[in-house]
Chains A and B, each alone.
Chain A
């Protein structure tokens, strides 16, 4: 039902297929690699960016923040596989992420498995869970699908919060037992390795999502988003393709959970909350649904702002404002929610659509000097 009503973003032509008007057209395909290389060598830099980060770039605090941002960039890209590319509005994505976080934590801390086994089991388990629940939830479409996924995720949140069998630690969460982990991933001085792990995860997700959306399967998914009935008429089974996308996104989210658990060093019940799914939705929409880099940027920016706005809200500049202004500004969610609402109205394409929206403006700006000369 919703599939046909979605105001879908126009059928997306991959960037590299459009003839580039940039100054160095030959360089364009390599830009992601350049960005990856730059991101990989960031930990070697001691540059201090006051106002943007609290310490120099290679300080553990900054690296941990960056690592969390990168993981959520990847998580948002995976969620976009559902929302932006297939047009499925799932409100339960937090469940698979939480399955990754708690799965790793429980297998390592409670069962004492080595990390690689725990990670492998968790990712497999998360994927199977997504396949099973997806198989039920996809019997419904549109808003009902959103509701069912929301309800399933709520069961996850209840199971974690009520602490059945004493596995999850309930409200307090479960700190990760680091004694069995490889030494390279433990301790403040090794935060840089976690950063690289997060970067690797992001690169893998971007690669997978890109390959899937470029493949024939990806075209079918885009077709499902734009007109599901037509895909059915063409003799393809929408259910199977949607289940495939749902399972893949669930597996990617579980992998994100594994990495996140290592970065944060434990699990806390807030990763199971429906708010996490809602913020994923915000990330994707802010970044630009259905684009390759939009959700990644949206995820990174959202987590960064969420973290930094807390610091900003308690800073002196804000405290000096009258209470009417300073109190709402000290709530990151208020600022992000407001920005999100404004984005839905004024920038439907998100960050990735900004360039096209601002094109008339930049054209007039760049034309003016020509006329003068």
Chain B
């Protein structure tokens, strides 16, 4: 029984990581039709900025409030990069989908190479608070605290995103834009400002995923974003593009499936099962769990 609880909670930790990456991807795709291959770069930027800040930024450090400050710095860096990418690279190619994909592909190649050039290709130990290395006993299972931290962070982000989408004016614009962009434009609302906003939100969530993923894995390396990104894409497609709630459900399904099958079956079979799930969902319900709707 304790094994099942442990697997469920670590699976949820993985799901939280996927959700943090996928929610931004999903919103960006739903609203702006940009399949963002550079999202892994935002994650890398967040991880490396946190890592850098905890060593160099005055006041920041690997413990306590210093760690919060370091993560905040990482998230700010992710937002900055995401907004710059949107303004400088994506905006001139507005409504030219393929070119946008190509640019983000080039950016992901060049950006990861730049991270690698600056900090080396090898994984670096990530500064993490002492308590994240310990375990908490829940119903007889010893669950690593880093996983619990991820679950809490993802739940907070999910709640904040839903509240933002439901109760603010910009949330309304984003929801409407996902559903029918032309209509929103016709009503005289500048949707492009909402594009920048969703990129910023996505960048923040991805950077947070990078920072907390660093805590979870204990190391940070340039290629980390890329491998997470593929599963995040799968989560987005299964959940339905543009739906935050769909992404959350899909992330939980994917994380649990992967964790359980990898434990009980041969290692690696879980990853294969996830792809099989994707194929089944696409064949039976091509629009994903929740379709292209960003409401709750």
Query: Contact residues of A with B, CB < 8 Å?
Result: 2, 5-7, 89, 136, 139-140, 143-144, 146-148, 150-152, 154-155, 158-159, 161-162, 164, 274-275, 278-279, 281-282, 285, 327-328, 330-334, 336-338, 340-341, 344-345, 348
Contact = CB atoms under 8 A, between A and B. Distances in A.
B102 A285 contact: yes
12 contacts: A151-B275, A159-B272, A162-B266, A162-B267, A274-B226, A333-B112, A340-B105, A340-B109, A340-B110, A341-B107, A344-B102, A345-B103
Interface in B80-134: 89, 92-93, 96-99, 101-103, 105-114, 116-118
Contacts of B108: 278, 337
A328 B234 contact: no
Contact of A327 (B106, B107, B117, B279): B117
A344 B110 contact: no
Contacts of B37: 278
B235 to A, nearest CB: 11
Contacts of A330: 117
A162 B268 contact: yes
Given A5-B98, A345-B92, A144 B237 contact: yes
B98 A328 contact: no
A139 B110 contact: no
A274 B225 CA distance: 13
B234 A147 contact: yes
B257 interface: no
A193 B77 CA distance: 52
Contact of A334 (B29, B117, B226): B117
B98 A164 contact: no
B279 A337 contact: no
A144 to B, nearest CB: 6
Contacts of B102: 281, 285, 340, 344
A221 B108 CA distance: 30
Given A162-B267, A275-B226, 7 more contacts: A143-B29, A144-B286, A148-B282, A159-B268, A278-B109, A282-B105, A337-B111
B110 A154 contact: no
A337 B282 contact: no
B107 A337 contact: yes
A334 B108 CA distance: 9
Given A89-B101, A159-B272, A344 B106 contact: yes
B110 A341 contact: yes
A36 B92 CA distance: 41
Contact of B272 (A2, A89, A155, A338): A155
Contacts, number: 127
A152 B275 contact: yes
A136 B279 contact: yes
Given A89-B101, A331-B113, A151 B106 contact: no
Contacts of B283: 136, 139
Contact of B282 (A139, A274, A278, A333): A139
A228 to B, nearest CB: 14
B267 A282 contact: no
Contact of A150 (B92, B98, B230, B271): B230
B233 interface: yes
Given A159-B272, A162-B268, A150 B106 contact: no
A337 B113 contact: yes
B105 A278 contact: yes
Ranked 4 nearest A-B pairs via Cβ = A337-B110, A162-B268, A337-B109, A334-B113
B105 A164 contact: no
Residue from B97, B103, B110, B111 with most neighbouring chain A CB atoms (10 Å): B110
Given A327-B117, A331-B114, A337-B109, A143 B103 contact: no
Contact of B35 (A139, A146, A333): A146
Nearest to B116: A331
A345 B100 CA distance: 10
B66 to A, nearest CB: 28
Contacts of A345: 92, 103
Nearest to A278: B105
Interface string B64-82: 0000000000000000000
B20 interface: no
B240 to A, nearest CB: 11
Residue from B89, B106, B283 with most neighbouring chain A CB atoms (10 Å): B106
Residue from B96, B108, B117 with most neighbouring chain A CB atoms (10 Å): B117
Contacts of A274: 226, 230
Contacts of B111: 337
B71 to A, nearest CB: 26
A158 B278 CA distance: 16
B271 A155 contact: yes
A148 B279 contact: yes
Given A140-B282, A327-B117, A7 B99 contact: yes
A80 to B, nearest CB: 14
A340 B92 contact: no
Interface in B25-58: 29, 35, 37
Contacts of A6: 97-98
